[in-house]
Structure 1
């Protein structure tokens, strides 16, 4: 019993509630709950207190004024909601409660999960790469606006453009911004904008709404159309707290349609002020330049002399130049005279008449050597011609024909007759002799040599 009293730890109520609160807050962070709202209370402080229940249990919830980011109409008794918050304990009463920092209708949970999956996939495809963002033109002359023709977004955009930069022209591409047809219409409009040659930047906008209302701006077809558009795209979808996948793919994300119009155009008042400053700087620079030129003019006037003084000085300079020119002419004439004389002596020493006898002797010797060489070559070539003629006669078929032989052609086959097989009986042949030729027809053939080269009568018909 004594040991139990020694080991006992006794808390005060405040210590216990504080320890319980710290334990809960450390271990239960970012808790998601889904349930039905009941016992909703809105005191004068502006905070919201309610119970979140299901069939078997309920938990107290607190949504403080500085964290009220829920969609309009979501907080009402009987509404099913999805909340995120941290578990805590209200020490004065020992109440267990959930401090809410996010709330949405319960039906949006599946959509948000789909959105997160699609976002990760498109991010892997590089559609959200910050390096691919394009700069906006500083002063566009024409802006293409893709939005609803009847919504508040187009009115806000037009009013902002008229206030900031009325010189800009607007091309409205009217589309449906909500519903199943909105995504394809928006993508088609962005494609059409990319084909135009007049607009310089695109504003894609609509007013705020729930996640389901803005879902068209999360569709993949729209995100890819934004990224593939030839012109830079500024997104102005929803309000400050609304984010869609188009915002990540666009070249610039604006919080609202009004902010998108402000981001794409310069401010008229700022331009006017800049123009005033530029005009003042230009006027100051011009005045400074005029003062410098006036000082230079004063200096030049002080350095200006009377024309008569300048003429007298120039006259003296002319006289001096005349004397120098006369002396130079005399020296120039004397110098060439001596040079001409020297050149004449050198020319006479190199005259061709002095070398003519020598050159005639050389020419005669060369002429004789050429004639002798030509005679030797002619004799050698004649001897080679005689030898070649003899060799040609020895190898020529004409020499063989002159000894009594003949060349026989088979006129039927067009071949040369070398054996009896080449001229069968009945074949027409032609025999070429040393002097003339004749044609005939083969009547008989054999493979053994004949006793005499003279043909037997009646065995060969000839025709001249």
Structure 2
């Protein structure tokens, strides 16, 4: 009698056979039915004109992708064939995956460039100006090679007393992007450099890839210190170039960009001093004349003010004189008072025969006696 297998037993046997035979396969197809739940795993199918293959991309493998998956993308994937026990279907457990045609790195570059641009990381409005004369220059690059020598030679030639602090990093290979980003963050935590240069020599897209990593881009964008990106040759562009406050075509050009020439500065200062002196020679006489004119205007204004006040005082004096009792006497009038000189006589009922009176004239006074009171 033939052996009767359960569905689970048959599925298990098929799983062992397939996984032993197809431990590493490479397939090509179009991505469809892509699902990326919160677990970080991705589930999709690869299809061609006749067939469809279910695929699983676990989170660890997905983190190594240089570009994001999307339906309709034509890719080449490698991995092992296995059987998902619950459904009894075979599927490809993907280890590596890259777009076919346009390289994975180029596609990743374009995707990240678009995403960061939409976030505003490339906007000129958020970029900081470079200091005119930095006291300290921070350099993030490899401590060996021509790049750092070129930067130091240019700085020494342009401004010999420039202070340069190097934060050595790997500029290529596994873990280099983390080192570059961390170096920028360390300079910001220290707070000493007035400007930071990110530098690397030329190379292929793969060689320069550390400067296309999102980790580096966000460290540059978060930097409170201005950053100059000088990666590769003049024709090379990286994500770091777009995010940085300034982009230099070469490391040597970056050194020239951040530091002026000392001798040119001195010549400029001398020219400014001479120009200032000439201006003073021309301006002082003119200003002296202007001061004289102002003084004369002030003297005339004070004289006019004095004359006006004098006329005003004279008017007050005339008014007071008009009210002065003595002025009335000078016009022929007199004032009669009792003999004590304190009581003015205004009515006849104040008098009686025999009273002695004192009369004040404009000049002098005299005493008299009342002989008769006429009512």
**TM-score (norm: length of structure 2):** 0.49
Report which structure shows greater RCO (CA 8 Å, sep ≥6).
2
Higher helix residue share: 1
Structure ID, larger Rg: 1
